[in-house]
Amino acid sequence: MSLLSQLKVGESAVLDSLSLPESVQNHLMHMGFVPDARVTALRKAPAGDPTVYGIDGMEIALRKETASAIHIRPAVTVKKISKELTPLPCPMEATR
C-alpha cells in the first residue's frame, strides 16, 4: 500500500482508506473519494503542488499534504484477450 501523493501523472490506483479529519474526509467522500474507487493522477501545477486527480468522472485538485493522507493500492488492469473461437462439431452430427 502507498500514498496518493506518490502517484505519478498518468498512473492509476484504487483508493484504500483516508486518514484525514472527519470533516475533510466526509467532504472528499462526497466527491467520490471512497474505498475501492479508481483514481488517476492527471496533471500537476507548474510548481508541483497541487496535483489534479480524476475520480468518478470529476477532476479534483489536492495539495500534497492532503494526498499524503490518502492510502492507495495498485489498480489491477484486465487485459482483453482476443482469440477467435472455433466452433466444436455437434456430437449428434458425428453419429449420422
The span from the CA of 46 to the CA of 39, in Å, is: 21
Average pLDDT per run of 10 along the chain, which is 96 residues long? 92 94 92 93 93 93 95 78 65 60
Q: For strand 38-44 and strand 58-62, is the pairing parallel, antiparallel, or unpaired?
A: unpaired
Supply the pLDDT for residue 51.
Answer: 96
Supply the pLDDT for residue 94.
Answer: 56
What is the fold, at CATH topology level, of the domain defined by 2-76?
SH3 type barrels. (2.30.30)
Decide if 83 contacts 32 (C-beta within 8 A): no
Which residues 6+ apart lie within 8 Å of 92 measured at CB? Answer: none
Q: Is 14 exposed, middle or buried (0-12, 13-18, 19+ CB in 10 A)?
A: middle
Supply the pLDDT for residue 48.
Answer: 86
Its pTM stands at 0.75
